[in-house]
Structure 1
């Protein structure tokens, strides 16, 4: 699993608003699906800007995902 999960801005917003633990429920499948979309897009050679628009992940975060592939 990707090491930067806790650095995801959406995850951090959920933790700040609802507290630790809720993020695990909220992201149980949604976050993993976004990671998979990002990985598949990177492997297919999609532009990172397009992947960012589809997933909501920052370009910097996508670059970290790309390093792990």
Structure 2
């Protein structure tokens, strides 16, 4: 109905939908970087719109990751 444009209010032009005013789509909020990692994800439904799942990313620090070396001999 909008010639392929993004519909800002998906239920605004729908008449007599079974969803009423319920949020019928999920959202992913990406960080502003070339990596485009997910910062938040908001699920479908009005009850979940105020309870986003938040993601955090960190780097490893010195001695945080352990390297285990095994040595095997066959007889």
Same fold (TM over 0.5): no
Please say which structure displays the higher CA radius of gyration.
Answer: 2
Highest relative contact order (Cα 8 Å, sep 6+), 1 or 2? 1
TM bucket (normalised to shorter chain) is under 0.3
TM-score, normalising length from structure 2?
0.22
Between structures 1 and 2, the one with greater helix share: 1
**What's the TM-score once normalised by structure 1's chain length?**
0.23
